Structure 1
Amino acid sequence: MTSASVSPTSPEHPPSPNLAFRQLRGPRSAGEFAAAIRRAGREIGENVSCDARYIGRVESGEIRCPNYAYERVFRHMFPGLSLADLGFSPRETVRGRHARRPKPPNSPSPSRVPTIEESDVLRRAFMTGGSATVAVAALGLAPMLGFAPTADSLTPGSWPPPGARRAGESEAAAVEEAVRHIRLLDDRHGSDGLYQRATAPLHAAYTLLDAGALRQSTADRLHAGAGELALSVGWLAHDSGRFEDARSHYAEALATARVAGDAALEAHAFSNTAFLARDAGRPREAVRAAQAGQRAARHLGSPRLLCLLTLREAGGWAGLGDRGGCEEALGRAHTLFGQGPTDGDPEWMSFFGEAELEGLEAQCWSALHEWSRAARHAHRATALQDPHFARNVALYTAELAEDLTRDGAVDEAAAAANRVLDLAEGVQSPRVRSMLAATARALLPHQRSAPVGAFLERHAKA
């Protein structure tokens, strides 16, 4: 999803019908036109949830300016036409200038942003109190927004507050620091418990984008920082098993990258999207996303980034059962890795080294049901991983336990699974817990083995 969504008119500014957009629809029904917009979005990789109601809102003038994803689709459908030609108002005259419609009494608060066109409406109602306020303040973003957060100032419809200043270098730095802080916590402790808290600074970052920046260089930093923050929060959702939330955050980052023309952010977004697609059982989508990421990263001067994207492609081929495609991609990945690190390697790739290379290759062989080969690579990953990345150590060890179980080495699998339990005291990762639970189920028929029995008993207590 993208955050630069529409700004409905206030009661003081009744909507004016968008006759230009209505003329573009022609004889098609609103539903038929919405379907055409969705098809055009798929052609360029944008996931817009357009329906007849959205068309009606545009034509009535309720939607004065589309969000960035829709803008990209409309420009694809109507080459050469500007937003003004399409009947929309300039974005800078719309964002954050009018009050939102009041929330109906006793209506439930949304727990996530389900569709692209709703994202900005919900962002404007972010942080309705309590833990969200604490999260934003803890990450240093609240003071940068030009107000002191209180329960009254964070009610729906009151954002942005009057007098909130446009973003400068300190605000951009705060967003960048929030990204680093979230990644550090995830590396050390895993995603569980972090996701809900991390969504508040993400909303804050996109609100800074909506407010505008003092300089273009600051705007570029804010776009990059907000996109990276969306990816970090998306990863927390991904690792927590909230795949639809993760997909939304990744799509948001991708839209931000394309609006800003940021190839590095686009490559990162495609990398995460490919990873998620593989985990969600969509291997062909994983291949396509990884290949798109490689195209975006082609001129960034980072063989390591291309290596990771090629490993994502290999994982997709493995999920499809295409051993030849997987082996070819793995070969390219090893060649790229052998070129070593460069100054062009992005900051977020600090986790990527030989251990991650081995871990991702282990997952490929596991998907191809070559358990012994998968176990060898998983063992190398555990041996090579820097202990700082505690979540990854736990992940690789859980992968090792699973592969050893499938390979019939049940005593060794139980020993590896016990090591995961040791690590689990400091790492809260639903992904790791799920893998360990699957290993426990697979080991149950072998519970007469002393090592297996001891693990199963300990796992049950845990």
Structure 2
Amino acid sequence: MASSSQASRAHPPHPNLAFRRLRGSRSPGEFATAVRRAAREIGEQVSCDARYIGRVEAGEIRCPNYAYERVFLHMFPGLTLTDLGFTAREDVRGRGRRAASEASGARRPASPFPQPCCPFDGGRPNSHSDIDEESDVLRRAFMTSGSATVAAASLGLGLGSGSVPAQRRVGEAEVGAVEEAVRRIRLLDDRHGGDGLYRRAAQPLKAAYALLDAGTWSRRSTADRLHAGAGELALSVGWLAHDSGRFDDARSHYAEALATARVAGDPALEAHAFCNTSFLARDAGRYREAVRTAQAGRQVARQVASPRLLSLLALREAGGWAGLGDRTGCEQSLARAHAHFAQGAAPDDPEWMSFFAEPELEALQAQCWAALGDFTRAAHHARRAAALQDHRFTRNLALYRAELAADLARAGAPDEAAAAGEQVLALLGDVRSSRIRTMLADTARVLAPHRRAEGVAAFLDHHASATRRVARA
């Protein structure tokens, strides 16, 4: 990116030897696994892999974002970020220099691009919300303008009028920007859902594929990383479309990612694409397609040493069988899912699977039993999912509670369903997900005949008010 390349010239990366010493004899992949484990111990979720550890040790990440900071300080109690070989945050972001400059009356030069905003700060460029503070890359990855030019600028790809100059050389800065955009999208989706993100997230995706179409690279590893990054970006944007009810858009993005995976010969990306396609097919009522695509994903995932990936694909297949009303097929798939999950995390677990922990395992089982009509059993799993989920990951917490409300309503517990529904309504100010709102609307319809049950009338009134507010927005 223009800003990143300029920063790189101003601050050439220096190897982080202190961090390398702390890794010791462990491989980067083993150390990344330890980082993810430490994150779970303190309720964080970080997408750490061997590549991220390599970037830290190479000095490309001068200061980690706040989530990684908390994890690293938990792993190495008594040490500071400086002790870990990082640069002070205010120096990386230029705030110390900016404060000194402003104190002396100096004025900052105007930016050649529109000032980026966090999608959830109400359009205030200088918001200090926790989302805005998460990473400066977040601001660059989501721009308020819809033009391809600004999308390119947001990734730092320098695409000018929206097309890449012929024989454009693609290097670490461009590939790193694509990978970081994927991480930012996933972080924001974890907290807020897809509705407010989809249009903005499509901008860096266009820029990434423009690079694939017209870029050149001197090393095969750079090309492989760009294909993988663009494919993961397509899947992330597709998921935002999926979550916000744009099923046709989601299907197109997932197909784009699958094609990218096959061109690049990337089995991990291909398995991810099949996994998402299966989930979408189930949600769209195409249950046989859900089964077939999950099985196709399972075949290619055997090339990836990740039991957790196989577990998730087994759960996707179980969802398809449940939709078909095949209890035996569903139970067999669930048994495979549990067997794979019990093997634990592995160094080769894909980065995108950081969301797949015990709460998600419980939630997907709840969906299967609900599809089979066993709502009491579904409610049991949904309640466990909501209880186990870290409350800071608002979107999934709202989803699991919405599932619980729906299952309780159909299991003949309207008072408990209303209470769970009220909890979801309390989260909808921060979460924008058509999928969750649709689930809650269905629950309200089921509860309507039970208005006299405790709490039901209040929930129905609150839900109606919230629906009217969304319609006016």
- TM-score grouping bracket, smaller chain normalisation: 0.5 to 0.7
Mean CA deviation greater in 448-457 or 400-409: 448-457
SS of aligned partner of 2:436: helix
1:409-458 C-alpha deviation (Å, 9 max, x unpaired) = 00000000000001111111100000001101111111122400010111
Equivalent position amino acid for 1:432 in 2: I
* SS of aligned partner of 1:144: coil
Kindly state the Cα deviation for residue 134 of structure 1 after the two structures are TM-superposed: 8.3
Code of the aligned partner of 1:373:
R
Deviations 1:47-84 (A, max 9, x none): xxxxxxxxxxxxxxxxxxxxxxxxxxxxxxxxxxxxxx
Unpaired runs of at least 5, structure 1: 1-126, 148-152
Aligned partner of 1:197 among 195, 200, 218: 200
Which runs of 5 or more residues in structure 2 are unaligned? 1-141, 467-473
Q: Which residue of 207, 211, 214 corresponds with 2:210?
A: 207
Quote how far apart the aligned CAs of 1:249 are: 0.4
In the alignment, the residues of structure 1 paired with residue 463 and residue 149 of structure 2 have an alpha-carbon distance, to the nearest angstrom, of 34
Among 321, 324, 333, the residue aligned to 2:328 = 324
Is 1:350 paired with 2:354? yes
Aligned: 1:144 with 2:182: no
Alignment of 1:460 onto 2:467: no
TM-score (structure 2 length as normaliser): 0.66
Q: Does 1:180 align with 2:183?
A: yes
- Confirm or deny: 8 A CA contact 2:271 2:300 kept in the other structure: yes
CA shift digits 1:291-311 (9 cap, x unpaired): 110111112110000000000
Q: Is the 8 A contact 2:398 2:424 kept in 1?
A: yes
Letter in structure 2 aligned against 1:130: S
Equivalent position of 2:281 in the other structure: 277
Question: What code does the residue aligned with 1:248 have?
Answer: S
Displacement of 1:261: 0.2
Is the contact made by 2:171 and 2:222 (CA closer than 8 Å) also made in structure 1?
yes
| TM-aligned CA deviation for residue 165 of structure 1 | 2.7
- 1:33-112 correspondence to structure 2 within 5 Å: none
The amino acid across from 2:214 in the alignment is A
Residue 236 of structure 2 is aligned to residue 232 of structure 1: yes
Q: What is the root-mean-square deviation of aligned Cα atoms in Å? A: 1.8
Give the one of 130, 137, 162 matched to 2:145. Answer: 130
Q: What's 2:260 paired with?
A: 256
Deviation at 1:133, TM superposition (A): 5.3
DSSP-derived class of the 1:193 partner: coil
What displacement does 1:216 show? 1.3
CA contact under 8 A between 1:387 and 1:393: conserved in structure 2? yes
1:212-269 deviation digits (Å, cap 9, x = unpaired) = 2322111100000000000000000101111111000000000000000000000000
Other-structure match for 1:96: none
Aligned residues: 324
Instruction: Report the counterpart of residue 417 of structure 1 in structure 2.
Output: 421
2:150 & 2:193 partners in 1: Cα distance? Answer: 17
One-letter amino acid of the structure 1 residue matched with residue 391 of structure 2: P
Q: Quote the offset at 1:164 in angstroms.
A: 7.2
Aligned partner of 2:434 among 430, 440, 447: 430
Instruction: Please say if residues 167 and 211 of structure 1, whose CA atoms lie closer than 8 Å, have aligned partners that are also in contact.
Output: no
Residues 14-35 of structure 1: CA distance to partner in whole angstroms, max 9, x if unpaired?
A: xxxxxxxxxxxxxxxxxxxxxx
**Partners of 1:132 and 1:197 within 8 A in 2:** no
| 8 Å CA contact 2:159, 2:207 repeated in 1 | no
AA aligned opposite 1:257: A
Q: Distance in 2 between matches of 1:207 and 1:281?
A: 34
Q: Contact 1:135/1:197 (CA < 8 Å) preserved in 2?
A: no
AA of the residue aligned to 1:254: L
Q: CA deviation at 1:334?
A: 0.5
Contact 1:145 1:165 in 2 (8 A): no
